[in-house]
Every structure is written in C-alpha cells, then in structure tokens.
Amino acid sequence: MTEPLRVAVRRGAILESVHEVHAVAVRDGAVVAAAGDPSMTASLRSSAKPLQALPLARAYESLDDEQLAIAGASHYGTPLHVEAVRSLLAATGGREEELECGLQPGRPPEPVCHNCSGKHAAMLAVCRANGWPVDGYRRPGHPLQRLLLDEVADAAGLEPGEVATGIDGCGVVAFAVPLERAARAFSRLDELDGGRRLVAAMRAHPVLVGGEGATDTELMRAHPGALAKGGAEGLMCLLSPDRTGLALKVADGNSRALRPALAAFGPEVGLALPDFATVIVPNAHGEVAATVELV
C-alpha cells in the first residue's frame, strides 16, 4: 500500500490542518493506480445516485437528458434544478407532495428544493413503472430499496449481503463498499443496463448534476468526456474518458481536500486538473486568508 495523499491547510506560516486522502483507479477490473488503502470501506452517500438512477433509465425510454441528469444529481436548488425535477415528475406521473426527501435548511420549505429531490422523483417513477406503492418508498423493506441494493452490489461486483447499509440524510438507504469497489462500479457504469443513456445525460448537463462551482460539475466541464459524482463526507467517484473508474475518500470527511487530491491523482489516469491544485480560502474582506494544497 502506498501512502495516502496529504492535503494541508496553511494560513500564512501557520500549518492549521492536514487531511489524508485515499484514492484508487480501476480499469478493466484491475487496480491501475492507488494512494493509501483501496480496501477501506467508503460510504457512497450521493455518489451512489448514478447507480440508483439506472432503473429509471431502463423503465422510461422517453425521458430526455435533463430529466435523466437530475435523477443523478445533488443539486443546488436553483430554478434550473427545480424545473428539471418538476419536469421529471410530470413525465412519470409523480407529484411533489409524494417526495419523501424532507426539507433542507437554508432552502425554500418545499421538498422539491432539496438537493436529493431528483433522486426521489426518480424513485417515485420506478415505483410506478413496477406497480409498487409509492408510500414508504424510502424504507429499507420497500421493494424499491431492495432493488437499489441489488443495483449497487451488482455494479460493485459484490453480493448484496456484502454491501453495508445505513440511513442517508434524505431518508433512503445509504450504501458502503470498499473504495476499490466504488471505483470498479464507476468504471463499468456505461456498460450497465441503462448506464449508457444515464452517463451521456449527466455528461451533457454537468450543471444539473451539482451546480455552478460544485467540484463534480467543474471537473466535468474541464473534461467533457468524464462523469463525476460527489458524495458527503469527502467522497468523489468518477468515470474517466478512457473508462477508468476513480474513487477518492478524505479520511476525516472534509471535502475541501478533494480538489488538491484530484489534481494530484488525476494525472495518473490522464486527467489534468491544474485549476484544482490550490483552493483559496478568503476572509471577510475578500483577501487570501488560507490555502488548501497537497503537502
């Protein structure tokens, strides 16, 4: 095992923090680059959304790219994002009052403005396509959540019982797999049933996947052939243009270390990200107060 990447926060001459980042790249089922521990268990959180959207892509051939992209999004709740969620609901017979993602602090008090509302709209649609009740669709015992566990396990090359589960922030089932298996799942994403359409849609609309300034959005803008999806607690998973899957996890969960880590690890698989190498932390006057960079 190589050493993890180390990302430092410096305020002038003061070293304030050091974050360790584990990273792995998988191509054609084999690890081709690694830093740290590829076997560490990583909670996928929102990085699972492209996998969770696969049944939607299979069930509704008529959906357009924007409707598919928002299903895999952790969006900023802008009018652009909310309009896409409402479009997906309208196209699949869903209603806003059925969304069980809850309300998000700092946003309008409507579930459709929650950053997971696209995923939840997709879940309602898959329930309808399969004739399942929409009530309680987020609960672990619902057939939808059992299906999504199977989707994640299959993509990662695991049995369902090998995937750890918990409760996500929006109330649905959350999944955890070894970091290498997360990279493996993303390396296969466009080969999975429904994956080609979903990947193409998310690549075509990176701003729907996150929003202006989001790390996954900006990475896809820098490399239009890539697909990236961030997750909570410092996780980033992506599919590179040459079909390499990458997964990076900040050990302490602080996502501010992701960009410098991506800038350091990306070139291992041909992803140059020079604009990510240094993150500027401004103060209240707009001055550079601190920097976040690879040690």
pLDDT tens digits, 164-215: 999 999 999 999 999 999 999 999 999 999 999 999 999 999 999 999 999 9
Two tokens, residue 161: 């019982």
Number of H helices and E strands in the chain, helices first, is 11, 11
Give domain limits for the chain: 5-294
Helix (H) or strand (E) holding 184: helix 179-187
Structure tokens at 51: 């996998």
pTM: 0.96
Residue 59 corresponds to which tokens in the numbers above? 């069930």
The pLDDT tens digits of the residues spanning 278-294 come to: 999 999 999 999 999 99
User: Structure tokens of 180?
Assistant: 């290498």
Q: Does domain 5-294 have CATH number 3.40.710?
A: yes
Alpha-carbon separation of residue 16 from 33, 61, 216 (angstroms): 29, 51, 26
CA 54 to chain CA centroid, nearest Å: 14
Provide CB contacts within 8 A for 50, sequence distance 6+. Answer: 72, 186, 189, 195, 198, 199, 202, 227, 229
